[in-house]
Amino acid sequence: MEGSIMGQVRHGCATTTHAIRAKIQRSQATTAALSRELGINVKTVAKWRKRETLEDRKTGPTEPSSTVLTTSEEAMVVAFRRYTLLPLDDCLYALQPSIPHLTRSSLHRCLQRNGISRLPDMEGNKPKRQKFKRYPIGYFHIDIAELRTNEGKLYLFVAIDRTSKYAVAQLVDKANRKTAWEFLEAVLEVVPYKIHTILTDNGIQFCEQPRNRNTAYSRSMRFDMICEANGIEHRLTKPNHPWTNGQVERMNRTIKEATVKRYHYDSHEQLRTHLSDFLDAYDYARRLKTLSGLTPYEFICKIWTSEPNRFILNPIHQMPGLNT
């Protein structure tokens, strides 16, 4: 009577099989008589007489809810995810300051309950990403981007460390050799550790043009002279291979999405102020998945404790610097 039928999946505490339940629903006998005949509780007989199916109902609450988050906290999580469309870990790092007891699993369950656990695929089938070769801190990618305000055009120099993700940026009126080496000097002044490698593209701001290299027209550039004086290797990307400098290209896009693509600026000064605030928040407050949930500044401080010989000054005493 209590044996299970092949192919039938019953609840762990079930006292009836599908065959017994079907017999109860077909029988014209009284509930008490069926209870005595089948050797089961009267309430069990009454329950299956009322039902129209033979399957067990799902256990748990009818309306799923969190045992960790309050209703208002869950509403905050849902609104944040729908507005930002950030990945799971980025949502976690951004929300934990406001909801300290939020864990990765409780966040994932919350997103599942509300049907937003998967982000929409905005770019179709994405190619498999290749990981960058691991380098010690001090390998910087540098690039230039063009931005606009109501006053006209500006150029943005951006430098980002391949390992620590620490970013430095500067807005200038012209993108030429002079502003390029001035930006390099500014980066050297603000970064608290030794820079050993700099990667740039083949732009005229950073290197001699290919047709003039190793010829009578070739000349030493101030950018390379500064690198040599500081023991820095200046590497160039391969021509027509912009993805080699992909880290700083991605940082350029991140900055544009947070500034000129989202807001209108009446003046260059408004953009400079917002850019400074954004980069301070990025370097000192934004938790990154690639750094195991640390901010770039926290990651630098962690390296300081294990490899202090790489540092020029104690980063724990460093205040936000250039980014204007």
Q: Residue 127: pLDDT above 70?
A: no
Residue % of the chain over a pLDDT of 70:
82
Confidence category of residue 2, pLDDT binned at 50, 70, 90: very low
Residue predicted with more confidence, 317 or 249: 249
Strand partners for 149: 152
In angstroms, rounded to a whole number, what is the distance separating the alpha carbons of residues 81 and 85? Answer: 5
Mean pLDDT, rounded, for 107-127: 76
Its pTM stands at 0.63
Mean pLDDT, rounded, for 180-187: 95
Residue % of the chain over a pLDDT of 90:
39
Confidence category of residue 4, pLDDT binned at 50, 70, 90: very low
Highest mean pLDDT: which range of 10-19, 38-47, 73-82, 151-160: 151-160
Q: Residue 9: pLDDT above 60?
A: yes
Ordered alpha helix ranges (H), the chain: 18-26, 31-38, 42-50, 71-84, 88-95, 104-113, 177-190, 222-229, 246-258, 268-285, 296-306
In angstroms, rounded to a whole number, what is the distance separating the alpha carbons of residues 250 and 286? Answer: 16
Listed range (60-74, 94-108, 284-298) with the worst mean pLDDT = 60-74
Residue predicted with more confidence, 278 or 66: 278
Confidence category of residue 66, pLDDT binned at 50, 70, 90: confident
Strand partners for 153: 148
Per-residue pLDDT, 129: 57
Q: Residue 133: pLDDT above 80?
A: no
Confidence category of residue 215, pLDDT binned at 50, 70, 90: low
Highest mean pLDDT: which range of 11-15, 42-46, 231-235: 231-235
Residues 285-306 have pLDDT tens digits of 888 888 888 999 999 999 999 9
Residue predicted with more confidence, 132 or 141: 141
Copy the structure tokens of residue 150: 């109501």
In angstroms, rounded to a whole number, what is the distance separating the alpha carbons of residues 303 and 323? Answer: 23
Copy the structure tokens of residue 87: 């990945």
| Rg (alpha carbons) of the chain, rounded to whole number | 31
Residue predicted with more confidence, 94 or 265: 265
Going by the DSSP 8-state scheme, the letter that residue 212 receives in this structure is G
Mean pLDDT, rounded, for 71-96: 86
